[in-house]
Structure 1
Amino acid sequence: MKIIVIGCTHAGTAAVTQMALLYPDAEITVYERNDTVSFLSCGIALHVGGVVKDVDELFYATPAQLAELGVATRMRHDVLAVDTAAKTVRVRNLNTGDTLTDTYDKLVVTTGSWPIIPNLPGIELDNVQLCKNYSHAKAIVAKAERANRVTVVGAGYIGIELVEAFEQMGKQVTLIDNADRVLFKYLDPAFTERVEAELAERGVKLALDRTVTGFQGENGRVASVVTTDGSYETDLVILCIGFRPNTELLKGQVDMLPNGAIMTDEYMRTSNPDVFAAGDSCAVYYNPLQTHAYIPLATNAVRMGTLVARNLLVPTVQYMGTQGTSGIRLYDLNIASTGLTEQAALDAGIHVKTVTIEEEDRPGFMPHVEKVLLKIVYDETTGRLIGAQVLSKADLTQSINTLSVCIQNGMTVEQLGFVDFFFQPHFNKPWNVLNRAALQAM
C-alpha cells in the first residue's frame, strides 16, 4: 500500500506517526513545503513574551524522527496538483526546482490553513506581519525589538495573547477589531467586559467596532493603521484576523463547504473514498448545532489525524464531533468556553435560556477564596446543554472540559444538576458550581 500525505503540521504529524505503527509494510511519503513539521503556533505569544525562550522548543516532532519511523519525508516539496481520478500528485522540489509525479493508493490531505490576508492599501509595507508559522514567530520577535508602538489587528485568542505579551514587554499596544467586543466568538458580554477592563487597566488601547481600511508608511515601513474610525500610529502591525483552509488542490474533486473546508464523514473520508482529510483544511461536525462548521483548532487536528490512521483501510473508530472547546490565560484570569455563546445561539435561531452565577470557589471559612463567573447556555425547549463559559483567578477551566463532555453526550440541565462531583474544602463547595448553575436553571 502506497500512502501520500500532503502537509505535516498537527493533523499530518498525528496521522503519519500512527500510520507508521499500524501499517509497517506501507510505503508512506510526506510532502511538506516547509523545512519543519509540528510547529505549535499557539506558543508564538509565549515566545514573544519570553516565557518560551527558544522558539525551537515549540516543535514536538522533527523530520528526522518521522524518517526513523520509516516514513519518506520530502521536506521543501510543494504539491502543485492532485488528480484524484488518476491517483497522482505533481510535486516541485523547492530546493532544485525539479518536478515529479507520484502515485498513491491512499491520499491524506492535511494541508492546514493560512491567515486571511485582506487586500488593503499598504499591506505590502515592511512590519505588517502575519502570525502563523515558525518564520513568522522569528520575524515578530526580531521586529518587536525595534518597535515601541505595536498594533494587533484581531481580538481573538491569538490577538489577545499577543497583546498581553507586547504589553508586558513595555510596548505601547493598540488592539483593533471590527466587532464591538473582544473574544466575541467565545464569550458573552459579562465575560468580555472583565477582559476589556483588565486590558484597559494595563494601558492597552482598545479600538473596537471599527474596520481597518489600509496602512500608511514611511520609507517602505508601516507608520500608521487607517480604520473607519481614526488612524493609529504604529511601528509594527500583527494581523490576526482569522484563517482560511488550504484546499485549492482538491477544489472540484471532493465536497467542500462554501469557504473551501473539506467535508469528511465520521471516519475522516472525503467524498472520494481513497482521499482522507484532517485538521485545519477540514470542516468538523459541530455538536451544539449538529452540523458541519469550520473550527480550526490544534485539538481537532490531532484527533482527526489519529482517526485517519485508524480508519485508513477499514472504518473502525468514529469521530465524535467537537464543541470548539478552548481556553486562554490573560494575566491572572483563567478563561475557557465550550459550545455556543448565547449570542451565537440566538444568531443560529435557537431559542435558549441561560444562567450566569458568580460566587466563591470554596467555602468562606477557607483562608483564601476566589470569585468564579460561570454561564451555561441551554435549549429552552429540551433543556439540552449547548454552551458554557467560565472566568476566575482560580483555575477552574477543567470545568469547561466537563461541560464539553456533557454537550457531546446530549445532557440536559436537569441531569447536570445531579451529577456526582466530589466535595473537599480545598477545592470546591458541597454543591459543585456546575451543579449550582444547573439547579438554578431548573
Structure 2
Amino acid sequence: MGCRPRPAQGNRAGALNSGKDHKPATRLVEAGRRPEWTGPVVNPPVWRASTHLYADSADLARARPNDDGTFYYGRRGAPTQWALADALTALEPGAYGTLLYPSGVSAIAGALLGVLSAGDVLLVTDNAYEPSRSMARNLLAGCGIETRFFDPLDLAGFPDRFCERTRAVLLESPGSLTMEVCDVPALAAMARDRGAVSLLDNTWASPLGFAALAHGCDVTIMSLTKHVGGHSDLMMGSVSAGEGLYTRLRLKAQALGLVVSPDDAALALRGLRTMCVRLDRSTATALEVARWLEQQPQVAQVLCPMLPGAPGHDLWRRDFTGGCGLFSFVLEGRTPAHRARLVDALDLFGIGFSWGGFESLAIPFDPARVRSETAWPPAGWQAGDKLGVRLSIGLEDAGDLIADLAQALEAMDEA
C-alpha cells in the first residue's frame, strides 16, 4: 500500500507543492493534508472500507488498480492511508513514493524481498537490528538468498565483500544496541558503483535527522511504530524510494497482500504532526542524561553518537541534522546480577522493547551473541567484564530521570 505525490489543488495543497522550501516542522504540519482527502476538516477522516463501489459497469471498466491515490479495493488503501504515505514522501527528499507496511519488520522484509531473488547475495551490516539478522538467516535463506555480514566501519575492506551475485546492501546507522555511526554516503556509493541497491534502516534518525536518499541510499526504511506513532499504541513501517524502485517494491507489496489499518494510519498521522517537538525534547533530555552518565564511576562508556567524544560523533556531526532519545551505556566491571539489580531498581524507566514513545524504557543487552563476521566488540568495549544497558529517553523531566538512574546505580551495588 503506497502513495506518491499527485498534482495538488487549493491553498493548502499549494503549500505542499512548495514544501521543499519549508523547514521540517512546517512540512510536518502541512504534508498529506490534501483538500480532496480532508474535505472541510483539518485531518483526513478514517475511511474503514474493504469494498469500494463503482457508479456503473463503465466506471468499473475504467478502474485503475495501479494508479496511486485512486479507489479500487480496500487492500489498495483509501484517503487515510494515502495521506500518511503522501506525508512521509514529502518529508523524504528525493522520494517518489512511500509504501506502508503492518510493522517495521514487515517493511524491512518487504523491501528486501522486493529487490532480491533466488541466487542473489545480500550484504548486511553486522550491527543490524536483531530481527533483520534473523530474517536474513531464515526467511531470505529459505528463498535461496545468501546473506553475508560485514563490518560497517571497515570502509577499506568493504569492496572485497562484493561478488558477481551481490544485489543489495542493508545498512543501519547508528547501529542497533552499540550505536556505531558508519559512513553511509561512502558505503552507498560503493554499492551503487557495483550495481547493488543500498537500503537503510533509518528509524533512529528519521528523515528529520538524516535524509537517507539525499545521502545516496536507494531505499529508506522506518519503523513508524517508533517516532512517528510516538505514543506506543500502533505498529507500522514504511519504505520510501525513487520512481523505479518504488514501482518494483509496490508490486511486491501488492503480491504479498500487505495492508495497514486506516485507524492505525490516522494515529500515525496524528503522531507525525508533533514528531519534531517530541524529537527535539527527547534528544535534548538524552544528551543531558548521557552527559551525567559519562561522569558516573559505575559507567565505563556512554554509547551516544550525539555526545562529543563518543564513537561516531564526527560522522554524526557531518551527516546528521538531528538525533533521538535512544542510546546505550556500558557498566564498569559488573556482573549480570549487578545489571539486573540496576534495571529492576529503575522506577521511571519501564522494562521493554521498542522506543520512540513518550515513556522512557531500559533493557539490558549483550551484543556479542548477535555479531558474526566483524571484530566485535567495537573499540572501548571489553567483552566479558562489561555489560550494556540501552535507554530510550521519553518526555519526562531530565532531572527526574537522572535521579532515578542515580538511585538505581546505588541499588546495583547493594548486596
Normalising to structure 1: TM-score of the pair?
0.31
Q: Which structure is richer in relative contact order (CA contacts within 8 A, separation 6 or more)?
A: 2
Of Structure 1 and Structure 2, the greater helix share is in 2
Greater radius of gyration (CA): 1
TM-score, length of structure 2 as denominator length: 0.32
